Structure 1
């Protein structure tokens, strides 16, 4: 009922009501684990980094801007003084940057793909891909594949995709993943690529199952972040006190990384519970459409298309 109301389910109200029944996570649940969080210079990424650090993880704040990243690291360290933290530069929309970053990481247990963009107009990455597709789908796919040697060495590797409730409004754009047709809107591009993340989650879970890597996706609800303020100021003013704090929005990502035993891979989550991937008529894709999108993404990043 909360989810169907949207306002109650996605707002701070839903989080406050649901958390009353959540069991506590062990305070040292992530001791000895190494976690990478992309887009960790503010908002949900910074809050996720802090949440993982509180549970004992050694956290790498993966950022495009090292100056902003160091400022976020200082804030996380102030909140979690004993934390093991460092920053690393990586632009998810730049495949060369992704390759350079991945080559420097030898030990990884958890990857939280949180980096996000909401451009005002259509733009392309240095590799010639629409910016939201490159940042939300192609870059995370390439990074995870390149990190597989490190993830295989983990006893319990987990990859988590931070999606958005806005994806419910969009069908899968398998025939036009680069958003070349129709009137371009940044908010639509954002939601389209968040839909792609969710639809690809089951296929990626199967692709990486033999490597011992579990894949999950989630949406955080409506959280009051700098990205929301910059990209959707009117919505922020309207929602006001209903918005979740970044820590509340990050809670499910931290839980997916730390709960034991780990949840079943390939599912979509919100507020620590599995949620349906489709709510509106006409948004459920055919299985071949999802496979076609995965083939496109693998080819676009230069990865093998033989295993799906």
Structure 2
């Protein structure tokens, strides 16, 4: 038995993500949208411990507000654990201890990271050895961001965001992340985007969504200045319309030395790209001095992994 499986307990770490580019197509007949996204996993992690149990239970704590995280079967990590059990015919249960550092309902995929960690943890705990392909199939059933939390690194997502292909990203990109005290509902942000487009306030992309090739070139060149010039998030207008105070924080971050500030995913977490680690520290200090929570993170980092004891 490996060290990670000592005492029938497995520890898995999974990263949050940033959308470096996010183009949203028109709403489909089923209410969903096709998207094109450049994802990057960053060094803000969710920690999940899986322990053998009779039933399926979860406890949640963390350095962020976890009051809105469900502890019943609405919890994505619990659903992930049940999927693994069903897939392998496991008759027992599992208790998941989740320690969160990724903002809740913040657009950084924290719940998806929990689910990815639970998939990996239960696979290891029960000796299922499902393999990468099968785990990604289960992840896709849980939501568009879960497969990326498994993969990590930098990737391009198309379709509903779950059709992933790795993207070459050389070097390190430094970000300062500013979480908000209150989250935003992803469905609400998408619905507001549709409303803005219906009023012709903003226009949807022409044709199928795709990632700007200039973004891919900047990632391959490890060039944060070029990336800042071409990064974009179609959900940003809707998120800022719903939470206007975020505009002031974006302005402050850019005045403090960030190359660009953007809404992360559906928000309201903000991400500021810095040219190097030293500049990121300066941006973090300036934002912290304004009374904001500011976290210096970097990417790309690996996806969900077992942590050896």
The bucket for the TM-score relative to the shorter chain is under 0.3
Higher normalized helix content (fraction of residues): 1
TM-score normalized by the length of structure 2: 0.22
Higher Cα radius of gyration: 2
TM-score normalized by the length of structure 1: 0.23
